[in-house]
Amino acid sequence: MNDFLRIFMRQFKGRMNQNILERITYLRDELRQHNYNYYVLDSATISDYDFDNKLKELQGLEAQYPQYFDETSPTQRVGGEVTKSFKTVVHKNRMYSLDNSYSKEDLYDWEKRIQKNLGVENTEYTCELKYDGASINLSYEKGKLVSAVTRGDGFQGDDVTANIKTIKSIPLKLKGELVDSFEIRGEIILPLDGFNKMNEERILEGEDPYRNPRNTASGSLKLQDSAEVAKRPLDCLLYHVVGDKIPFETHFKTLERARNIGFKVPKAVKECKDIDAVFEFINYWDVERHKLPYETDGIVIKVNNLHQQDELGFTAKAPRWAIAYKFKAAQESTLLHEITYQVGRTGAITPVANLEPVKLAGTIVKRASLHNADQIEKLDIRVNDTVFVEKGGEIIPKVVGVDLAKRTSDSQPTLYATNCPDCETLLVRKEGDAKHYCPNEFGCPTQITGRIQHFISRKAMNVDGLGAETIELLFKEGLIFNFADLYDLRIEQITPLERMAEKSAQNIVAGIELSKQIPFEKVLFAIGIRFVGETVAKKLAKHYKSIDKMMISSFEDLTKVDEIGDRIAQSIVDFSNDLSNIQLIDRLRSYGVQLEMSVESQANQTDKLHGKIFVVSGVFHQMSRNELKKAIEDNGGKVSSSISKKTSYIVAGDNMGPSKRSKADDLEIPIITEEEFIELIR
């Protein structure tokens, strides 16, 4: 090759790489902005589909050109890094606690103290909500997130950077400048919506629900597998910048800048000229906080001027320049007219207090939860009592006590319901259960419709055109008594019903017909065996491959299935021994509902990896991480999130974490590539 050609080739290659780097940078910037719009500003400007496509393109390019790796790339948010034990880190600046106040008087006293201390007669404040979660300290250097550490004991905390990176509202790279090096503090929270969704799923899986968003958020930070953290709808609300040479006079201005360079600083922050403006803020949020998408337990009032903050300094425990004001849990007293009872799909009974309507935290409350028989007995709640109703973080208000002074002499202790409010069957209560149950599984209307509603729901048979109300209507009209009856429905039976047109009747029947193609594992979930949630149904389907094999297996046999414990096994045995269930399943079979694994999905399943445990790490080219995991499971292997002596192989893609690699080396566990893995199952 002559010199000319060589130089030309070098330049050409250089230019091509230049173009690729430009494209990568462009995609990263664009995706960052979309993340910011969606997670910080709450307003998306791109569809999920387009976002995913761009992310995939970027992932592809990054995999192909590893020399352009960037730890702040939006692709780094999917998690996958596993931390066995979190490193303890000493805080550069101590994380203090806050002093509390509970009344206006407390706040006046605080103001007097600081004004005396500063020798001034006027002080300005910034008011913020007190977010209820787990505190976190984020460090940024030259515009990039470098570490995230929990509060710990205030002097030192745990390094949870890998987990924190998966929270989309936390910028990995800033959109603008503040100072070269600073810390920013905030609260990791779990919004109520996301929390409730997580719990719904847990309940479906037969597990106990999480107790409250705060503990769940803080527990999430210590999960070992960051991919698990990525699945949780965590958020981070920021409230304090710590650093030398902050170029602003006030706390408020600093927060505004923080918001502008990418941080989620809630809009409910107010600059207050004096303490009266602070009280306005408190009064407003005392009511409005119940409409927020997350929990708060008070307000934090901070001296606005940063020089004054410096001058005031800290006590042994807390800053002198800030104070928390705790809300009282909203409470009112009102008359209890009647106790009624509700029955759910599983037959569980919930007692409900029917109240004289009362205004509580901005809404009119007519009904409140009474939990169960023990609670009523413990508080000695009686009809015609004046009761205290409280609205805490939860959506449903509850009765927390009785105003005994107002009890009338003819008052009678409450006798808990003995019969089902719906079908009047005698209630039962098993040992260890807090709740009473209606045992009339097949005759109790609410239970019957509840089960059919579950059967058609999205994650189960996903029947389009059919909703909860229509199920009730069809049941009321005597057209269905169980989910098998759905398949006998004819258009001419439905059309004459109230609010039904020919078209909707056609849609219903077509939707039901279509559900015959729903795969076996979903059918197994849909039939609603107690404690058999989505995941368990999948495990069972995979193991038994047909409902018949599952129904004839013994308790011992069932407990040998991966992750099936005594409680689930017993529930399946009970279900399988019930004659009416056997008949129902036979009917489903006669209609052509999938009661075994299809030939195609069985064809992809082998036992090649039986007994082998895999850890998957890094970014892959030919399959997504989830496809890879599925391939492992389909071939009889197990996927684990952390490396241990039991690990058989590590399938490593690009950017496998260095700590993982050294752990694998220590334990002498073979590391294989994606291609080698594919070879393994071929």
| Contact residues for ligand AMP, defined by CB under 6 A | 97-98, 128, 130-131, 135, 151, 187, 239-240, 300, 324
Residue 58: closest CA among 38, 40, 78, 42: 78
- Where along the sequence are the contacts to Zn ion (CB under 5 A)? 420, 422-423, 438, 440, 444
CA distance 192 to 189: 9
Nearer to ligand AMP, 19 or 100 (CB): 100
As measured in angstroms, the least distance from the Cβ of 196 to ligand AMP is 22
Nearer to ligand AMP, 246 or 514 (CB): 246
The binder of 238, among ligand AMP, Zn ion, none, by C-beta within 5 to 8 A per type, is none
Q: At which residue do the structure tokens 């973080």 appear?
A: 393
The binder of 98, among ligand AMP, Zn ion, none, by C-beta within 5 to 8 A per type, is ligand AMP
Residue 25: closest CA among 65, 52, 77: 65
Residue 310: closest CA among 252, 242, 257: 242
Q: Is 130 a catalytic residue?
A: yes
The binder of 305, among ligand AMP, Zn ion, none, by C-beta within 5 to 8 A per type, is none
Nearer to Zn ion, 124 or 422 (CB): 422
Nearer to ligand AMP, 130 or 522 (CB): 130
Strands 296-303, 125-131: parallel, antiparallel or unpaired by DSSP? antiparallel
The binder of 135, among ligand AMP, Zn ion, none, by C-beta within 5 to 8 A per type, is ligand AMP
Q: What tokens were used for 366? A: 């007519």
The binder of 651, among Zn ion, ligand AMP, none, by C-beta within 5 to 8 A per type, is none
Which residue has the CB atom at the shortest distance from ligand AMP?
135
The binder of 455, among ligand AMP, Zn ion, none, by C-beta within 5 to 8 A per type, is none
DSSP string, 397-436: -EEEEE-GGG--TT--PPPPP-B-TTT-PBPB--TT-SS-
As measured in angstroms, the least distance from the Cβ of 299 to ligand AMP is 8
Nearer to ligand AMP, 34 or 240 (CB): 240
As measured in angstroms, the least distance from the Cβ of 291 to ligand AMP is 18
As measured in angstroms, the least distance from the Cβ of 27 to ligand AMP is 35
CA distance 368 to 14: 70
As measured in angstroms, the least distance from the Cβ of 214 to ligand AMP is 10
Contacting residues for 661 by C-beta, under 8 A, at least 6 apart: 652, 671
Q: What tokens were used for 667? A: 């334990």
Contacting residues for 373 by C-beta, under 8 A, at least 6 apart: 351, 416, 429, 436
Q: At which residue do the structure tokens 């002198």 appear?
A: 320
Nearer to ligand AMP, 316 or 415 (CB): 316
CA distance 100 to 299: 10
CA distance 388 to 409: 19
The binder of 128, among ligand AMP, Zn ion, none, by C-beta within 5 to 8 A per type, is ligand AMP
Q: Is 392 helix (H, G, I), strand (E, B) or coil?
A: coil
- Per annotation, catalytic residue among 13, 116, 130, 660: 130
As measured in angstroms, the least distance from the Cβ of 541 to Zn ion is 31
DSSP string, 205-251: TTPPPPS-HHHHHHHHTT-SBHHHHHHS--EEEEEEEE-TT-S-SBH
The binder of 300, among Zn ion, ligand AMP, none, by C-beta within 5 to 8 A per type, is ligand AMP
Exposure string of 498-534, with b = 16+ CB inside 10 Å and e = fewer, is eebeeebbebbbebbeebeebebbbbbbbbbbbbbbb
What are the beta bridge partners of residue 156? 90
The binder of 634, among Zn ion, ligand AMP, none, by C-beta within 5 to 8 A per type, is none
As measured in angstroms, the least distance from the Cβ of 272 to ligand AMP is 14
Nearer to ligand AMP, 266 or 636 (CB): 266
The binder of 422, among ligand AMP, Zn ion, none, by C-beta within 5 to 8 A per type, is Zn ion
Nearer to ligand AMP, 139 or 449 (CB): 139
Residue 236: closest CA among 167, 143, 294, 173: 167
Nearer to ligand AMP, 185 or 382 (CB): 185
Q: How far is CA 494 from CA 473, 475, 591, in A?
A: 10, 11, 19
Q: What is the signed CA dihedral for 609, 610, 616, 621, rounded to 10 degrees?
A: 30
As measured in angstroms, the least distance from the Cβ of 318 to ligand AMP is 7
Contacting residues for 56 by C-beta, under 8 A, at least 6 apart: none
Element (H, E) at 473: helix 468-476
As measured in angstroms, the least distance from the Cβ of 561 to Zn ion is 32
Nearer to Zn ion, 305 or 440 (CB): 440
Q: Is 159 helix (H, G, I), strand (E, B) or coil?
A: strand
As measured in angstroms, the least distance from the Cβ of 580 to Zn ion is 16
By annotation, the residues acting in catalysis are 130
